[in-house]
Amino acid sequence: MHKTLYALSLLAVGCTQQPAEQAKNPFSSGQWIDLSYEFSDETPYWPTSGPFRLNTDFEGITPGGYYYSAYNFCAAEHGGTHLDAPVHFAEGKWSTEQIPLENLTGDAVVIDVSEKARTNSDYQVTVGDIEAWEKTNGPIPDQAIVLFRTGHGTLYPDAKNYLGTDERGAEAVAKLHFPGIDPEAAEWLVGNRKIKAVGIDTASIDFGQSKDFKTHQLFYGANIPGFENVANLDKVPTKGAYVVALPMKIKGGSGAPLRIVAWLQD
Amino acid sequence: MHKTLYALSLLAVGCTQQPAEQAKNPFSSGQWIDLSYEFSDETPYWPTSGPFRLNTDFEGITPGGYYYSAYNFCAAEHGGTHLDAPVHFAEGKWSTEQIPLENLTGDAVVIDVSEKARTNSDYQVTVGDIEAWEKTNGPIPDQAIVLFRTGHGTLYPDAKNYLGTDERGAEAVAKLHFPGIDPEAAEWLVGNRKIKAVGIDTASIDFGQSKDFKTHQLFYGANIPGFENVANLDKVPTKGAYVVALPMKIKGGSGAPLRIVAWLQD
């Protein structure tokens, strides 16, 4: 047999097996990363919200002789790792249960502004940051989930450092300091790219000092949901991760506790 | 060029591209199915649990002139589509936040007993049902998530039909009637197969008339979590679906609201 022909036939035989096996189980080679924080009495909430509460129904040995534990809980929608449904800031847009799974799952990109945000808790992601990212990585793909990494997640859950204040009540709101997304950047993304959702490793997609929550209004007015207090963004690559973001399915909710994970293919 | 050589070189060129593309994104061709019910004041709970409550923090136009809505909520862990963490019935086993993502995600099989359960609300899945399934489909694969379809989901959320009673309080518990998994079947699965998790389209993996919750004790004692009130099991094929089951990450929880979805590859 001709040497080249033999080499090519080996290649051909090898390749008919490989795709068949991969098609059988595409999840055989990769891993899930958890981008969600735990809910506990340490979970930081907005100064005007109550804390997460877990109450014991029962915990111990029952009269039947077996162990049993059960709890109930109360929470504000918008604390810990959570979803903002578009209706949070845009009347008539999707509430929590209305967001299609298609908009909660998809290829993710990570835009890292942590170098700038490290020394400035009031940092807002700019149009320039997005343009710089695209210069290196190409345009943000259609239907991407865009995750902004400010690096602020390293301060979670200590409210004083993470939120800028651990004081409670309406007067503490003015003391919030954490990075967010500049409304101009939100406007640019809504107008120029077709993205499914946005996420950030801070308590809010608007920075702590925002008074009018313009970035919320812009994204949610376009039915683009937000993921806030997203964890472990340092473990997600710039491109190539696939995100599954599943909120508790609260009917009529303006948000919900969110379990968000990323699939990293080997 | 020799004809065969040319054909083989085409094959070889074709195949080096195909696996690379498949490896990049197992989610490139298929769809997500939601196996989760909404949480609302219609969500059925155990007779001894309180209802799901959504309370309004704010809903309307703010002094700033923009729309805003936010709510808080209270719930028992074990109502609606939810996770049972192993610690629910097995001291020292995984609580909600401790269950690895690896055990909440994986290939699913559906064992359909709806023909038998349709006429018997006290039906319990038997070892024979599992053996019959395996005779047709082969052994339940290692690391499978096993979903039992009793057909009872068609009655959700009407408590009288779905739970067997819409009465509340401790005395109503004896009036619960819905299908579950026979403890002998649970024991067989724990002893003979290596499964990740079990799910069912009823309120509990033990049938409504259970007094000692043996099936719970057996699975959870083996650190095999349970998914209860799973929706849309008629839309999941016998084999071939990939399940992602993400509970709210409650620290120390014995369970949690669960958003469970299935990926059906094209």
Q: Could you tell me whether strands A30-34 and A255-265 are parallel, antiparallel, or unpaired per DSSP bridges?
A: antiparallel
* Per-residue pLDDT reduced to its tens digit, A56-71: 999 999 999 999 999 9
The Cα of B222 is separated from the nearest Cα of chain A by a number of Å equal to 14
pLDDT at A101: 98
Amino acid residing at A197: A
Q: Give CA–CA dist A150/A58, Å, rounded.
A: 41
Domain A30-38+77-265 has CATH 3.50.30.50: yes
pLDDT at A28: 75
Q: Give CA–CA dist A236/A149, Å, rounded.
A: 10
Cβ–Cβ gap B24/A261 under 8 Å:
no
* Per-residue pLDDT reduced to its tens digit, B168-185: 999 999 999 999 999 999
Torsion of CA B35, B39, B40, B42, to 10 degrees: 50
Amino acid residing at A233: L
pLDDT at B137: 98
Q: How confident is the model at residue B23 (pLDDT cuts 50, 70, 90)?
A: low
pLDDT at A25: 58
* Per-residue pLDDT reduced to its tens digit, B55-96: 999 999 999 999 999 999 999 999 999 999 999 999 999 999
pLDDT at B19 over 80: no
pLDDT at A26: 63
A104, A130, A133: which is closest to A199 by C-alpha? Answer: A104
Nearest CA in chain A to B98: A38
Q: Give CA–CA dist B145/B167, Å, rounded.
A: 33
Contact at 8 Å (CB) between A111 and A149? yes
Q: How many other C-beta atoms are found inside a 10 Å radius of the C-beta of residue A88?
A: 27
Cβ–Cβ gap A19/B22 under 8 Å:
yes
Claim: this prediction has a pTM higher than 0.90: yes
The Cα-based distances of A59 to A62, A68, B31, B92 in angstroms read: 9, 6, 40, 12
Q: Give CA–CA dist A40/A146, Å, rounded.
A: 27
B77, B37, B75: which is closest to B53 by C-alpha? Answer: B75
User: For the residues B85-113, what does the mean pLDDT come to?
Assistant: 98
Q: Give CA–CA dist B186/B216, Å, rounded.
A: 9
Nearest CA in chain B to A4: B5
Backbone angles phi, psi at B137, to 5 degrees: -110, -5
Nearest CA in chain B to A38: B249
- Our CA angle for A23, A27, A32, nearest 5°, is 160
pLDDT at B24: 56
Cβ–Cβ gap B12/A16 under 8 Å:
no
Tokens at A23, concatenated = 């098609």
What 8-state DSSP symbol labels residue A192? H
* Per-residue pLDDT reduced to its tens digit, B216-264: 999 999 999 999 999 999 999 999 999 999 999 999 999 999 999 999 9
The Cα of B249 is separated from the nearest Cα of chain A by a number of Å equal to 5
Residues of chain A with pLDDT under 70: 1-26
Q: How many other C-beta atoms are found inside a 10 Å radius of the C-beta of residue A7?
A: 13
Backbone angles phi, psi at B146, to 5 degrees: -100, 115
Q: Tell me the three state secondary structure of residue A61.
A: strand
- Spell out a b/e string for B246-257, using b for 16 or more CB atoms within 10 Å of the CB, else e: bbbbbbbbbbbb
**CB nearest to B76's CB, from A72, A90, A212:** A72
Q: Tell me the three state secondary structure of residue A101.
A: helix
Domain ranges of chain B: 30-38+77-265
pLDDT at B256: 98
ipTM: 0.91
The Cα of B119 is separated from the nearest Cα of chain A by a number of Å equal to 30
